[in-house]
Chain A
Amino acid sequence: MLKLSTNKASPQARPRQPADKSPSGLSIVWREIVQDKIALVSFILVAAVTLFVYVTSLLLDQDQIVRVDLFALKQPPSSEFLLGTDQGGRDIFGQLIIGTRNSLTIAIVVTLLTGIIGVLVGLVSGYFGGTIDNLLMRVVDFFMILPFLMVVIAFITAVPNYGITAFTLIMTAFLWLGIAKLIRSKALQEREMEYVQASRTSGSSHLKIMFVQVLPNLSSIIIVTMTLNLAANIGLESGLSFLGFGFPESTPSLGTLVSYARNPQTLEMRWWIWLPASILILVLMLCINNVGQAVKRAADARQRKG
C-alpha cells in the first residue's frame, strides 16, 4: 500500500515511523490534505470560521442580538451595525455569528448520530447477512426512495412539541439509511476475506471480529462519508430552515437568515440581510466538500497525491 503512494513525495517529507508499521488512517488523510493546496486552504478556512464563530459567540449576548429594536429597523451596513439590521432591528452580523454556530452544531451532531447508527446497523447487517440483513435492506431501500424533503417536512409538522431536539431526531431518523447501506456493502466484502475466517477459526468472538478487526479496515470510508455528509447536512439544515421547517423562529441559523429573502422587497433592496449568510453557506459547503474529496483520495491508495 505504501509503495504505490511514493511516486511524488520525497522520503524526508513523511513523518518518521518504524519501517514495519503502516501509517495510521489519520496521518494519511492529513498528508493528502497538505499535498492538495485547494484542500489545505479549504481546511484552514473552515477551521478558522468554526473557531471564530464558537469563540465570538461566547462573548456575544444572544438575548441582546435577537431583541427587537424599533429605532434601528432595516438599517444598511454602518460602523454601528457591520452588516446592517433586519426588519426587527436586529444586528445581522451578530445573528450571522450565532446562526453559523447553530447551523454548524446541528450539522455536526446529526452527522455524528447518523454516522454511529449507520455504521452499527450496516456493520451488523453486512457481517451476519441472512434474513435479517435482507429484510433490513428492503426497509432501507424503501425509505431511500421516498422524497426525503416532503416526508421530513410532513413529519416536522406532525410532531406536537417541535423544537431543536425533534428537528435533530427527525433528520437523524432519515439520514442514517445511506450510511448503513454503504457500510453494509463494504462489510459484506470484508467478511469474505481470509483474515476474518482465520480469526474465526482461532476462536475470536463475532463482536471482536466486527469491531476490532473489520471496523478499522472501514475507517477511511467512514471518514470520507462523514466529511461529505457534514457538508450535505449544512445544506439540508439551511434548506429546511429556509423553507421555515428548521430552527424555530427565535433561534438564528444560516437558513433562517437566507429565508428573509423570501420577501421580494428584502431580496431586491436589502442584500445585507440574506447575501452574507448565503455566501457563508456556499463557502462552507464548498470547502468541506474539497476537504472531503482530498480525504476520498487518501482512502484510495491509487489516487493519492502524496
Chain B
Amino acid sequence: MWRTVARRTTIMIPQIVLLSILVFLLARSMPGDALTGLIDPSIDPAAIEEQRVKLGLNNPWYEQYWDWVTNALQGDLGQSFRFKMPVTDLIGERIANTFWLSLATLVITYLIAIPLGIISGRYNDTLADRMITGYTYIGFAAPLFIFALLMLWAFGFHFGWFPTGGSVAPGMEPGSLSYIMSKLYHLLLPATSMALITTVTTVQLLRSEIIDTKHKDFVHTARAKGASESRIYNRHILRNSLLPIAAFFGYEITGLIGGTVFIESIFSYPGMGELFLSSISVRDFTVVTSLVLLYGIAAILGALLSDLILSMVDPRIRIK
C-alpha cells in the first residue's frame, strides 16, 4: 500500500513542474509585466530600464522562471496592481468563500445522489426509477450556467426567497450567529443550483453499481441465509456500491473548479472564480496566472486523492 502511495505521489511532481512551466509561459505571453501597473508614464525610460535590470526582467527566461518558482514556493506570487496588495493576501481573502461554496455543494450533491441512486437502483424499472432516470438525462444535458440563471431568476428575483448576490448581508458582525446564518442563507441557492446538476453523474453511477451488485453471488448467499431485504440493501449491496463513488470524489473537486467560476459569476458571489473573471476584465494578470496555478494544483491533488482512494478500496489496481 505505502509503495503505491509513494509511486503515485512521485508521478505528481513532473505534473506540477509541467503546470508551473505552462503557467509561467502564459504569464509571460500576457501583455504587461510587474512594472506596468506601478509606474508613472512621465518617468524617464532610462530609469525604467534600470528598474527592469534590478528586478531581473531582462534576464533569460530560465533565470526568470527560477526566480518566479522560488518566490512562489515562499508564498510570494507577486503584486496585484488593481488592489495594490500581494496576490497571496488577496487570494487568502477569497479562498474561504470558495471553500464554503464547494463544501456546501459537495454535501448537497451527496445528500441528493445517495437516496436517489439507491431508490433508482433498488426499484429499477419502476415509475420512481423512470422519473429519476429522466432527471439525470436532463441534468446531464443541461449546461450549468443556464440552469443556475433560471434558478436565480425564479427563486432569487421572481419569488424573492433568496438573496441575489454577495456572500453575506451587509453590516453584520463577523463571528456572530446571525452572521453565520446570513452566510449560510447566501450559500444555499448557489450551492443547490450547482449540486442539482453535478449530482446526476453520481446518481447514474450509483444506480448502475447497485443494479450490477444485485446479481452477485454474495447477495444470493445473504438472501439464502435469511437476511432481511433492508439488511441486504443497506449492508451488503450499498457498501460495495459506494466504493466507486468514494473513488470518484477527487474528480468531483476538478468538476467543482469549473462550476464555481460560473456560479460565482452568476450569483455575484465573492470567491476565487469571481476574482479570476474580474481580474481578467481589468487586465490584472498577476492575479489571473496565480489563480490558474492554484486551481491547477488543486486539480492535480484531486486526481491524486481519487487514485489513492481507488487503490485503497480496490487492491487490484495498485501500481506495481
Interface set of A (CB-CB < 8 Å, partner B) = 142, 145-151, 153-155, 157-158, 231, 235, 238-239, 242-244, 258, 261-262, 264, 267-268, 271, 274, 278, 281-282, 285-286, 289-290, 293
B187 part of interface (Cβ distance < 8 Å):
no
CB distance from B25 to the nearest CB of A (A): 9
A271 to B296, CA, bound (A): 37
B289 part of interface (Cβ distance < 8 Å):
yes
Which of B26, B254, B281, B285 sits near A155, CB closer than 8 Å? B26
CB distance from A59 to the nearest CB of B (A): 29
A-chain residues with CB within 8 Å of residue B145 when the two chains form the complex: 238-239, 242-243, 258
**B contacts with A: majority SS:** helix
A265 to B206, CA, bound (A): 41
B-chain residues with CB within 8 Å of residue A243 when the two chains form the complex: 145, 261-262, 265, 277
A-chain residues with CB within 8 Å of residue B142 when the two chains form the complex: 282, 285-286
B303 part of interface (Cβ distance < 8 Å):
yes
CB distance from A271 to the nearest CB of B (A): 8
B-chain residues with CB within 8 Å of residue A151 when the two chains form the complex: 22, 292, 296
Contact A282 B299 (CB under 8 A): no
Contact A154 B288 (CB under 8 A): yes
B-chain residues with CB within 8 Å of residue A147 when the two chains form the complex: 254, 257-258, 292, 295-296, 298-299
Contact A258 B300 (CB under 8 A): no
Tally of chain B residues near chain A (CB < 8 A): 45
A239 to B147, CA, bound (A): 12
A151 to B258, CA, bound (A): 10
Known contacts A157-B280, A242-B145, A281-B143: does B292 contact A150 (CB below 8 Å)? yes
Contact B15 A285 (CB under 8 A): no
Inter-chain contact count A-B, CB under 8 Å?
106
A84 to B211, CA, bound (A): 50
In the complex, the chain A residue whose C-beta lies closest to that of B23 is: A154
Contact A289 B291 (CB under 8 A): no
Known: A150-B258, A158-B29. 18 other contacts (CB 8 A): A142-B18, A142-B19, A145-B303, A146-B299, A148-B258, A150-B292, A150-B296, A154-B288, A231-B141, A238-B146, A243-B261, A244-B281, A262-B265, A264-B165, A278-B149, A282-B141, A285-B141, A286-B137
Interface set of B (CB-CB < 8 Å, partner A) = 15, 18-19, 22, 26, 29-30, 137-138, 140-146, 149-150, 152-153, 157, 164-165, 254, 257-258, 261-262, 265-266, 276-277, 280-281, 285, 288-289, 291-292, 295-296, 298-300, 303
Sampled A-B contacts (17; CB under 8 Å): A142-B18, A145-B15, A145-B299, A147-B298, A147-B299, A149-B257, A149-B258, A150-B257, A150-B261, A151-B22, A157-B285, A238-B146, A242-B262, A264-B157, A267-B152, A282-B141, A282-B143
Contact A286 B138 (CB under 8 A): yes
A264 to B261, CA, bound (A): 18
**A contacts with B: majority SS:** helix
CB distance from B108 to the nearest CB of A (A): 21
B-chain residues with CB within 8 Å of residue A267 when the two chains form the complex: 149, 152-153, 157
A274 to B153, CA, bound (A): 11
A155 to B143, CA, bound (A): 22
Contact A262 B266 (CB under 8 A): yes
A-chain residues with CB within 8 Å of residue B258 when the two chains form the complex: 147-150
A171 to B150, CA, bound (A): 27
A149 to B296, CA, bound (A): 11
Contact B257 A154 (CB under 8 A): no
In the complex, the chain A residue whose C-beta lies closest to that of B288 is: A154
Contact B141 A286 (CB under 8 A): yes
Contact B257 A153 (CB under 8 A): no
A-chain residues with CB within 8 Å of residue B29 when the two chains form the complex: 158
A142 to B13, CA, bound (A): 11
A-chain residues with CB within 8 Å of residue B276 when the two chains form the complex: 150, 153
A-chain residues with CB within 8 Å of residue B262 when the two chains form the complex: 239, 242-243
CB distance from A139 to the nearest CB of B (A): 8
CB distance from A269 to the nearest CB of B (A): 9
Contact B164 A264 (CB under 8 A): yes
In the complex, the chain B residue whose C-beta lies closest to that of A245 is: B280
A238 to B143, CA, bound (A): 9
A289 to B200, CA, bound (A): 15
Which of B146, B153, B165, B288 sits near A282, CB closer than 8 Å? B146
